[in-house]
Structure 1
Amino acid sequence: MPTTPAPQPDPRTSKTLHNGIEVLELLSRSPHGLSVTEVAEGIGVHRTVAHRLVRTLEEHRLCKRDSFKRITLGPGLVALAESVEVDLREVARPVLADLAEAQGATAHLVVPEGEDEARALMVVEPRHARAHIAFRTGRVDPLGKGSAGLALLSAMPPRPGEREEVSLARRRGYAVSHAEVTNAVTGVSAPVVGPRGAPVASIGISVLELDDPAPFGEAVVDAARLIAGMLHLP
């Protein structure tokens, strides 16, 4: 857990709001939760200040505590995320359409769902391919299976016991999986990276046959960067 205080906010802005956002960002990188002391250390404030921040975020259902008093992100963020997902879909739609046509494969945009799952936010099928994969929007799969989930994990801090495929995806920029969420289907996905390296989504393709993943990997990495740029993510 980092103990170095974060850079001070611009004096023209609200320091309290700045600290509250830092708490949320810290929790987003801590899927197993944090104690109040760990929150205080993580954002460089006194424990009393961290306690007040957590209590305020709890009132707005932006974080919650379990029976062991570990703090995690709360369900109130889902409502806030809905409007963001609308913008994400609008931005991503033409990129997915171009990706699907260029690769002759089904393209998909997947977002993190809680701590351990990933949800298909958008699926675009190629119009002119002789054959392609079909699956439904809204499908939820484990975060640790399938190229989309592996790509999301690759943009997160390493987890204890994580798969070698995640480490490999972290090194080359895209993840590859075969028959993990759908029989006989190979997926290639890259993370759409947001502020401070956190994954906003993953973009990928699904195919039945794949000899060399590198060209598909380059294509999904380029598409992910394009979406991030259109969303003005740093």
Structure 2
Amino acid sequence: MAAGSTLQTLERGIAVLQAVAASETGLRIVEIAERLGVHRAIAYRLVNTLADQHMLRRLPEGKIVLGSASLLLGLNAEGALRTLARPIVQALADRTQATAFLSTAAGEEGVAVLTSTPKDAFLNINYRVGSRHPLTRGAAGIAILAGREATKGEPESVTKARELGYSLTEGQLQKGATGIASPVPMPREFAVWQDLSIGVVGVGGLDHDLAIKEVLVAAQDLAWAAARA
């Protein structure tokens, strides 16, 4: 591919990301094509390429929004979501005396984008930012899937988590560890902040009832904080 053609494709890709980011509820392919002044087929190819890299994501109704990779880039730059979530995740860790986390989806994997440990705890699980695992394993990933619309053939654990409002798993990612997580019900206008879960992971003396209550509260707190931001 000629250098000029490559540069034009890059410029168009950036323009797509900027157009989608400027839209509060996402754009359809035809709208992207109109904003870029290109044929719909070109817009379709650009969107497909960016979606393959998780920079964009298709909503069930067909609109295109920023994807998890865009979100992760923003978080690495100390973005607004991390600023909003940090005190909520820390409070969750302190109240449950367990390691708390905020996770998002990156393709078929869940990725921890923020973690906190109790300020006065003697022993904590080392759950690092950037830790990855399949969405179908572990409370964080199952909660993310539960926050989406139901799909045919989805795992029973996802259906159950959607009904309960939270996922509880034991020993799936680490022997002896219990994970509890809830999808974050972000307002639809925050399209880039969808596919999030918040929760805790602990061993031994984790109070399940308390943890479930606090995780559900934290999920609502983060959604409300985003709505007020």
TM-score for both structures, normalised by structure 1: 0.67
- In 1, distance between residues paired with 2:40 and 2:75? 24
Q: Where do residues 1-234 of structure 1 align in structure 2 (5 Å cutoff)?
A: 21-23=26-28, 52-53=39-40, 55-56=42-43, 58-59=45-46, 62-64=47-49, 74-77=53-56, 80-81=70-71, 82-83=73-74, 86-114=79-107, 116-196=108-188, 199-209=194-204, 213-232=208-227
Q: Which structure carries more relative contact order (alpha carbon 8 Å, separation 6+)?
A: 2
Tell me, in whole angstroms, the C-alpha distance in 2 between the residues paired with 1:209 and 1:55. 55
* Matches of 1:211 and 1:95, distance apart in 2: 19
Cα distance in 2 for residues equivalent to 1:58 and 1:87? 30
Q: Match of 2:222, as an amino acid?
A: I
Partner residue of 1:10?
none
Identity %: 28
CA apart distance, 1:196: 4.1
Q: How many corresponding residue pairs? A: 185
Cα displacement (A) at 1:191:
0.9
Per-residue deviation, 1:79: 6.0
Q: Helix, strand or coil: the match of 1:157?
A: coil
Gap change, CA 1:163 and 1:22, over 3 Å in 2: same
Deviation at 1:190, TM superposition (A): 0.6
Deviation per residue, 1:172-215 (Å, 9 max, x gap): 11110111111111000011123449743111001113676333
Tell me the CA shift for residue 54 of structure 1: 5.9
* C-alpha spacing 1:84/1:132, structure 2 compared with 1 (3 Å): closer
Secondary structure of the structure 1 residue equivalent to 2:184: strand
Moved more, 204-213 or 102-111: 204-213
8 Å CA contact 1:103, 1:216 repeated in 2: yes
Q: Note the residue ranges of structure 1 that are not aligned, 5 or more in a row.
A: 1-13, 25-39, 44-50, 66-71
The amino acid that maps onto 2:209 is A
Q: Is the 8 A contact 2:96 2:207 kept in 1?
A: no
**1:134 offset after TM fit, Å?**
1.3
C-alpha root-mean-square deviation of aligned residues, in Å? 3.2
